[in-house]
Amino acid sequence: MGRFHLSDIEAAAGRIDPVFLRSPQFICEPPSEPCNADVLIKLETANPIRSFKGRGADLLVQQAKEPLVSASAGNFGQALAYASRTYQVPVTVFASVHANALKVARMKELGATVVAEGLDFDAAKMAGRRFALTNGIRFVEDGRDVETAIGAGTIALELLERENDLHAILVPLGNGALINGIGCTYKSKSPATRIIGVQAKGAPAMVESWQQSKLISYPTVATIADGIGVRVPVPEALDDLRGNMDEALLVSDDAIIRAMKLLFTLAGIVVEPAGAAGVAALLEHKERISGKKVAVVLCGSNITNAQMQQWLC
């Protein structure tokens, strides 16, 4: 038995703040044409925090009755801060000293206490855990706390309302909440649809751990996709993957940038590197989806002006 089920996801759809639900979904021709495929995009950036993480964070925080501590590369921290403001639950977020400045500023604007510590996300997570343990505060973790995956699973419910003939869904793979929620839903309601995780070549820990059925970590990551730049997998999320993911692909940063530019120049859509991972997989692995109908989750769009100038122009 898994840690959560379709019934949990269906119940969550009636509880999550509606501002995060019913995100746009449509066939997008610019990425479809170079891949010879029908590419449906699920645009999880049209909400107050510009990422999908508001779904799971809202579900998690609305049930909390105490202050929370967490760690984030930025998007989950924003989601927690937004929900914590809504439900009046204090939250402290640990972020790397190299974290995206836009994401850090937004976490603070939304009311979170932000602590900059550690050279990367996983180091910040370790610092957050120490702080929570020392101060007797609950530490919540994207991918480990089931609400994060349950909330993400509502994305799949929305896809299934209109699309029952998808060959595959390409999902950015970071801590695992997004793909585990989507995978759980599809395994119950449309098991023929393949669930494909996409991770950056410079941060392959989750993919390699899944492939080898053991936890593999790295001392560093080397990718611009900070939202999926995980070097130490979450064990619980890794266990969930074994029943929810069918295939995994790695993509280069060059492909991620090409995907970002394609979406921006031809479709008018701004996404951050992690958000473009699925489209990058379409570009680098065309042979796997040629002639098929596939969905891609665009999971975030928080990039700075400098990053936009560097990657989109």
The domain boundary residue, chosen from 90, 107, 139: 139
Q: Are residues 25 and 132 in the same domain?
A: no
pTM above 0.95, yes or no: yes
Question: Considering the domain boundaries, does residue 76 fall inside one?
Answer: yes
The verdict on 174 and 25 lying in the same domain is yes
Show the CA angle centred on residue 280, arms to residues 124 and 226, nearest 5°: 10
Q: What is the pLDDT of residue 65?
A: 85
**Same domain assignment for residues 152 and 176:** yes
Domain of 134: which CATH number?
Answer: 3.40.50.1100
167 burial type by CB count under 10 A (0-12 exposed, 13-18 middle, 19+ buried): middle
Q: Which pLDDT score is estimated for 1?
A: 63
Domain extent at residue 22: 6-47+145-312
Question: Tokens standing for 43?
Answer: 């645009």
Spatial separation of the C-alpha atoms in residues 241 and 25, rounded to whole Å: 25
What pLDDT shows up at residue 187?
A: 97
Name the amino acid, one letter, at 134.
T
Q: 2: phi > 0 → left, psi -120 to 50 → alpha, else beta; which?
A: beta
Has residue 1 been placed in a domain? no
Domain boundary among 118, 139, 160: 139
What's the pLDDT at 3? Answer: 96
Give, as one character, the DSSP assignment of residue 45.
T
Q: Decide if 168 is inside a domain.
A: yes
pLDDT at residue 108, rounded to an integer:
97
Residue 5 φ then ψ, to 5°: -140, 170
**Same domain flag for 204 and 307:** yes
Query: Mean pLDDT, consecutive 10-residue segments, the chain of 313 residues?
Result: 93 98 97 93 98 98 95 96 97 96 96 97 96 98 98 98 94 98 98 98 98 97 96 97 97 98 97 98 93 97 96 94
Q: Are residues 95 and 62 in the same domain?
A: yes
Residues 65 and 135 reside in one and the same domain: yes
Q: Of 115, 139, 163, at which residue does a domain stop?
A: 139
Q: Are both 304 and 260 inside the same structural domain? A: yes
**160 and 263 assigned to the same domain:** yes
